[in-house]
Amino acid sequence: MAATTVTMNETVGALLRDARDRKGKSLAEAASVTKIPERFLALLESDSLGDLPDDIYAKIFLKTYCKFLGLDTPSVLGLYREQRAFDSSFRRQEPRRHPTPSLAASHMIVTPKLIRSILLGVAVLGLAAYVGVELMKIVTPPNITISTPADGTVTGERAVAIEGATEPEVTLRINGKGVAVGNDGNFHDTLILQEGLNTIRIVGAKKHSREMVVTRRIIVQPRPR
C-alpha cells in the first residue's frame, strides 16, 4: 500500500488525526497496536508538540505512528521539524533554573527573631565580660605599699616600725602575725628585730584572692658603747 501524500499546508496533528479517521481506528486502538502511550498520540494529534518528551523520542513515536497510518514519513518529519521550530504551540523546554538568592537576601534578612537573637547574644557577651572582670577583681592579689622601712635599711635600733597601705578588706600578716588594717587601708606595726640581717615578710590577701607578698630586709647593727 502506497504511503499517503502529505499536504504541507496542514499541521502534523491534522494529518495524523485525518489518517487515523480514514483508517477507522480509535486513539486507544492505535496506541494498542503501535505500543505508543495513548497520551503521547493525543499530544501529536493536538499539535501540543512542546509537551512531548525529548525530541529524539518524539521522532521515534512519529515515525512509528506514520508507518501505522500509512503516511509518508520523511514528509511528516519535515513538517514536524518546521512546526516544532516555529509553531506558537511549541514551548522550548529549558532546564528549570532555581533562583540563586543574592548574598544580601540570604545573609542580611533582618527579622524580629534575628534582632532578638542579636540582642540576646550581646547581653550574654556583656554578662560574660562583666562576670570575667568581677572574677579578676576577686582573685587578683591586693596591692600593698610599704612606706617604711625601705628595703635594705641599716639601723642601730632593734625596734622598727612597719607602716604601709593596702585595701581595707585585706587580711594582713607581718612575719605570720595578724595586723589590723584601717578603714582607709592604712596599717602599722612595730617589730623587735635581732642583730644582723632580718627578713620581714608582709603577706596580704582578700577573701578569695591570691596572696601578695612584700619583703623587706633590715640589717641591725648595734651602736658602739
Interval 78-82 mean pLDDT: 88
Report the 10 Å Cβ neighbour count for 4: 17
pLDDT of residue 183: 94
Residue 186 pLDDT exceeds 90: yes
Instruction: Copy the grid coordinates of residue 115.
Output: 534582632
Q: What is the pLDDT of residues 14-48, one digit of tens each?
A: 999 999 999 999 999 999 998 889 998 998 899 88
CA distance 41 to 33: 12
81 band by pLDDT with thresholds 50, 70 and 90: confident
Residue 141 pLDDT exceeds 50: yes
CATH class of the structural domain 145-220: mainly beta
Domain ranges in the chain are 12-86, 145-220
Q: Which of 69, 67, 65, 68 is nearest to 43 (CA)?
A: 65
Interval 104-118 mean pLDDT: 72
Identity of the amino acid at 25: K
Interval 164-175 mean pLDDT: 94
pLDDT of residue 5: 56
pTM of this prediction?
0.43
Residue 82 pLDDT exceeds 50: yes
pLDDT of residue 104: 46
- What CATH number was assigned to the domain covering residues 12-86? 1.10.260.40
37 touches 61 (CB < 8 A): no
Rounded to the nearest integer, the mean pLDDT of the chain is: 84
Judge if the upstream peptide bond of residue 168 is cis by omega within 30 degrees of 0.
no
Q: Classify the C-alpha dihedral 44-49-52-53 as positive or negative.
A: positive
Q: Which of 73, 50, 54 is nearest to 63 (CA)?
A: 73
pLDDT of residue 69: 92
